[in-house]
Amino acid sequence: MNTTRSGRPALTRPDGTPLRVLVVDDDPDLAEVLSGALRYEGWQIRTAGDGASAVAAARELLPDAVVLDVMLPDTDGFAVLRALHSVKADVCVLFLTARDTVEDRIKGITAGGDDYVTKPFSLEEVVARLRGLLRRAGLARQLDEGPRLTVGDLVMDEDAREVTRGGELIELSPTEFELLRFLMRNPRRVLSKAQILDRVWSYDFGGRAHVVELYISYLRKKVDAGREPLIHTVRGAGYVIKPVTP
C-alpha cells in the first residue's frame, strides 16, 4: 500500500493528483512548521500571512482545504472564510485559534468552518483532523485502499484502521476495533461469547465473559447510538451484526 513519509496511507484528490492545502497564519515560523508537516503527506501547500493574501492565494490554488488562523493582522478568519467560500464553495476549513471558549467554537462552526483546533496543538492532531475532513467531504481518496468490510452503511478499512458509519468517522480503541472486525467478518452469523473471547482476546479469561458484554456496550454507544441498530443480542446464544432491514 502507498504510504506517506510519515507512514500513513497516502491521500490524494479523487483524480489522483496531490491534495491542495492553504495554510493561513501571521506567524511565519508556525506557518512553516505546519506546511512542512503537510508536505510530508505529499500534498501541495501554499501559505499566506494575512486575509488579503489568503484570498488571492486561494484564487490561484483553488485549495481542497484551508488551515485558517482566526486572528489575522488585517481581518479575522471568519471574514476570510466567507471570501474563501465564494472562491470555492466546497473547501474544507480547519480553524486555528488561541481562544477556547464555547462561544468561539460556536461562532467558528456557524460561520461555516468544518473543525476547530486550539493553540497550542500537536502537528499530528492537525494532520489527522485534515485527513478526516477531506475524506468525509469526499475530496480525497486513499491510494491502494486496503480491504474493506461493509455491513449496511458501516464501513471498515482494515489497513487504514478507519471505521465510518454513514460517512461519519468513528473513533475506536484497539480492542473495540478488533471486536468490530470479528463481527463484520461474520455478518448475520451469531457469535458466542466464547468464540469472541477466543478470537479477540486470544486467551482464557477464566470464564469472565462479562468483558464481552462490556465491550459490546462500548461498540453500541459508538456505532449504533442515535441510529438503527446493527449489533444485536441473541438471548442465550451471543451477538450478531447485520444490516438494517428496509
Give the model's pLDDT for residue 90.
87
Percent of the chain topping pLDDT 70: 85
Give the model's pLDDT for residue 1.
43
CATH 3.40.50.720 fits 146-239, yes or no: no
Two domains, one topology: 18-135 and 146-239:
no
Compute the mean pLDDT over every residue in the chain, rounded to the nearest whole number. Answer: 85
Angle, CA 32 vertex, CA 28 and CA 38 arms, to 5°:
145
Considering only the top CATH level, what class is 18-135? alpha beta
Domain boundaries, the chain: 18-135, 146-239
Mean pLDDT: which of 107-116, 138-147, 199-208, 235-244 is highest?
235-244
Q: For residue 204, how many other CB atoms are within 10 A of its CB?
A: 9
Which stretches does DSSP call E strand in the chain?
11-12, 20-24, 44-48, 65-69, 92-97, 115-118, 141-142, 148-151, 154-157, 162-165, 168-170, 231-234, 238-241
Interval 19-71: pLDDT, tens: 999 999 999 999 999 999 999 889 999 999 999 999 999 999 999 999 999 88
Rounded Cα distance, 121 and 143, in Å: 28
Whether residue 75 contacts residue 29, with contact meaning beta carbons closer than 8 Å, is answered with no
Q: For residue 60, how many other CB atoms are within 10 A of its CB?
A: 10
Give the model's pLDDT for residue 189.
94
For the whole model, what pTM was predicted? 0.57
Percent of the chain topping pLDDT 90: 47
Whether residue 183 contacts residue 200, with contact meaning beta carbons closer than 8 Å, is answered with no
